[in-house]
Structure 1
Amino acid sequence: MPHMLPLVHAGAIGSDLTIEQDHGAVVRRSVLPGGVRVLTEQIPGMRSATLGAWIGVGSRDEAPEHAGSTHFLEHLLFKGTARRSALDIAEEFDRVGGESNALTGKEYTCYYARVIDTDLPMAIDVILDMVTGARLDQADFDMERGVILEELAMNEDDPGDVIHERFTEAVLGGHVLGRPIGGTPEIINAVTRDAVREHYREHYTPEGLIITAAGGVDHDAVCAMVADALTRGGWDLAPGIVPAGRRDRFAPVEATLDPEVRITRHELEQAHVLLGTRGFSATDERRSVLAVYNAILGGGMSSRLFQEIREKRGLTYSVYSFGAPSTETGVFGVYGACIASKADEVERLMAVELERMADGITASELERAKGQIAGSMVLRLEDSYSRMSRLGKAELVFGDLWSIAEMLDDVHAVTVDQVRALAADIASRERVSVRVGPA
């Protein structure tokens, strides 16, 4: 039986761990000189390889004078280095049928590439050239400001994006986790290239870098290529440097809920309704219980919300529940879209289902939810990108990496009483109601 891989605390140096995973996969973790952490998962028979370069810094970490820098860097690192133009970067991946992209979160940034295994050396060289040697030219900065403003405008035109952003702000208002990841037009217009450069130099360092790779990879070869690429990029990989520590998962979160938010959008045909509350942290020991609870409440077509609000009453096309965790806290909500005249009824039914969950669930609901989670979990981890991402989050957030078998065992161990207790907890919390729609 595979065992949980306890990742050495981020502050450890010179550590090297190896453990077998499910079906012959092998996970290894090393800390290189400079404090760079490298985690790989070699998966037998897989010809693809996905590389991720993680910086444990997201939108929550921006100093006031650097606000917007995290999102800006996600764009600017693809604009060129001393060795490559933006076109060179794009062509490197296009000529091998690979792909590269980046994602910015509230707590981390990741630059990644997916290629066939024989092209992994190229991917490492290009991605780490971007990380170590971004030009951050003024002309590129000015152009990308316009691109980012267009991106924000596109998001603002999507009422689904708007309501989720406003919901998070309402639940975590005043806390840095309540800030929008991409910034606002005011923030993007105000930030300067010098501020972005300062943010880059402060946080893009060896001790803050985590490299993850999964698929057709060899750990020792990846470590050697990473060290070579970082040295070529001018980073000092001095011995004895301690990796950056993980966040304090027990830090208090002081935020005042805004119980009701109404946004009038005359051009919309539907009202978008979101009802929810403060949720759970990513490391909460009840996370498997929460997954089962969510599946029963609003995680699929057989869920209570879908059956009651859509199938029995025909009030919505889309209705679901969701959780969004972070290190210290999270949000949990129920979303639906309907014609404006039905918004009050839809919200009332959402509240009823939240209360009904606290009354208990059936054994058949429990087993169906476990099967749904188990199947989706295994299918989700069938590609090298998902495995790469799992390694990064394990190192940044959890501090350990469970095998698939252990994750499934944890889900199957959830009981009716545990779900009922969690449901009662959620039902007792102060709620936030957000709507976006016509007057």
Structure 2
Amino acid sequence: MIETYTLSNGVRIVLERVPTVRSVSLGIWLFTGSRNEREEINGVSHFLEHMLFKGTKTRSAQEIAEAFDSIGGYVNAFTAKEYTCYYARVLDSYKEYALEILSDMFFNSIFLEEELEREKKVIIEEIKMYEDTPDEHVHDLLSQAFFGNHELGRSILGTERRLKAMTRDTLIQYMETFYTPKNTVISVAGNVDEQFIKEIEKRFLHFNRKDPQIVRHEPTPQYQSIVIEKEIEQVHLCFGFPGLKAKDERLMSLLLINSALGTGMSSRLFQEIREKRGLAYSVYSYHHSYVDTGMLGIYAGTTKEQLPELIEAIEKTIDELVKNGLTDQELNNKKEKLKGNILLSLESMSSRMSRNGRNELMLEKHRTLDEIIEEIDAVDQQMINETIAHIFTGKRAEAMIVPK
């Protein structure tokens, strides 16, 4: 059972008790990410995420790292387009300790100038590493091709030039604007009790900061084509199509379509492009949902000589999907696969914590397992065909990284 609480200052707590395990996963979720950045400070969300690990009023960066290592725990963070998360996984006997450290990082980070400049260098290396990994970098190019100059089209990491221009005040101003009580969700899953809610309240009830007036501009798909050259062996190709926003009632249909199209070894793209034609080692599809929009992407990598056949094979697979939809057997198989994936994910406290945190931020509601299964089972062929027609309109964005 998922329990939700809202503190008097607006901080939300999502708790899922699993008394049969000996671990606890804890995450501090912020409803802000690279989408909330002005163009001149693109990358600040990710930079701030790094800096919260670089020392507080009472702990150095090394002491933060050693604190979790010494208890056999794990701590990390990530930045997405619309949210940021700081999380830890520990034995249940150390849950209060983990909460104390995470809240110390959250409230008491000091952003020393020397740490700031050192971490800029680290992130610049991260940017270079990312750009040297074409099967990852091409997805950023696809976002740019699909969303254009909209905030969703920009890189989460930012650019070297913009990063170098950021100051301590840049981070503090961004944090004071977007790290606010109503933007904050504490998600916990594992062996916890009522007392732990009181511990969270003790750490976060004093949190008072004016909530921002966030104005999100809904993007319009641009369907651009971006091609860059690099010293590589393969062509890395991405196509982008309209998807669905996080609260869209058709989202379950889209997840089943995506599964049939390009997730797993039995998917149509895998079977046609890898198994039948041998054109690619890696080929798959994926979907990203945002507050007000979404994008379905297709990725494949092949040699320059085989690129025309690869594109033809992808187009053929899509055309068949548009013309004939899914078979009844295929739809049933993908329903069972999706249900199985959800059930298996329940074995991980980290998965439960992450799902609950995202759902509270993006959907502001939680469904029981029975409700999710019921929603999957309710998808019929008419819903599938209507969703296919929404995605594949004949227009697409394209991104390619090709050998020089």
Query: Residues 67, 339 of structure 1: CA spacing in aligned structure 2 closer, same or farther, 3 A cutoff?
Result: closer
Q: Which residue of 1 aligns with 2:282?
A: 318
Q: Which residue of 1 aligns with 2:92?
A: 117
d(CA) in 1 for partners of 2:207 and 2:239?
A: 49
CA deviation string 1:374-417 (max 9, x = no partner) = 11121123211111111111111112111122112211221223
Q: Which residue of 2 aligns with 1:415?
A: 380
Q: Which runs of 5+ in 1 are unaligned?
A: 1-25
> Quick one: which amino acid aligns to residue 78 of structure 1?
F
Residue 111 (structure 2) pairs with residue 136 (structure 1): yes
Query: Residues 147, 33 of structure 1: CA spacing in aligned structure 2 closer, same or farther, 3 A cutoff?
Result: same
Preserved contact between residue 67 and residue 191 of structure 1 (Cα < 8 Å)? no
d(CA) in 2 for partners of 1:169 and 1:252?
A: 15
Counterparts in 2 of 1:257-272, with a 5 A limit?
257-258=223-224, 260-265=225-230, 267-272=231-236
Counterparts in 2 of 1:7-406, with a 5 A limit?
26-218=1-193, 220-230=194-204, 235-236=206-207, 252-258=218-224, 260-265=225-230, 267-359=231-323, 360-406=325-371
Preserved contact between residue 129 and residue 230 of structure 1 (Cα < 8 Å)? no
Percent identity over paired residues: 37
Q: Which residue of 2 aligns with 1:22?
A: none
d(CA) in 2 for partners of 1:429 and 1:38?
A: 44
Preserved contact between residue 242 and residue 296 of structure 2 (Cα < 8 Å)? yes
Shift of 1:67: 3.0
d(CA) in 2 for partners of 1:364 and 1:244?
A: 49
Residue 397 (structure 2) pairs with residue 432 (structure 1): yes
Q: CA RMSD in A?
A: 1.9
Shift of 1:105: 0.7
SS of the equivalent of 2:347 reads coil
> Quick one: which amino acid aligns to residue 252 of structure 1?
E
TM-score, with structure 1 as normaliser: 0.88
d(CA) in 2 for partners of 1:351 and 1:221?
A: 56
Shift of 1:216: 0.6
SS of the equivalent of 2:19 reads coil
Preserved contact between residue 30 and residue 39 of structure 1 (Cα < 8 Å)? yes
Q: How many residues align?
A: 403
d(CA) in 2 for partners of 1:369 and 1:423?
A: 15
Shift of 1:211: 0.8
Preserved contact between residue 316 and residue 336 of structure 1 (Cα < 8 Å)? yes
> Quick one: which amino acid aligns to residue 168 of structure 1?
S
SS of the equivalent of 2:351 reads helix
Q: Which runs of 5+ in 2 are unaligned?
A: none
Preserved contact between residue 246 and residue 397 of structure 1 (Cα < 8 Å)? no
Preserved contact between residue 178 and residue 212 of structure 2 (Cα < 8 Å)? no
d(CA) in 1 for partners of 2:378 and 2:260?
A: 16
> Quick one: which amino acid aligns to residue 302 of structure 2?
C
d(CA) in 1 for partners of 2:311 and 2:179?
A: 45
SS of the equivalent of 2:241 reads strand
SS of the equivalent of 2:261 reads helix
SS of the equivalent of 1:264 reads strand
TM-score, with structure 2 as normaliser: 0.95
Preserved contact between residue 41 and residue 162 of structure 2 (Cα < 8 Å)? no
SS of the equivalent of 1:273 reads strand
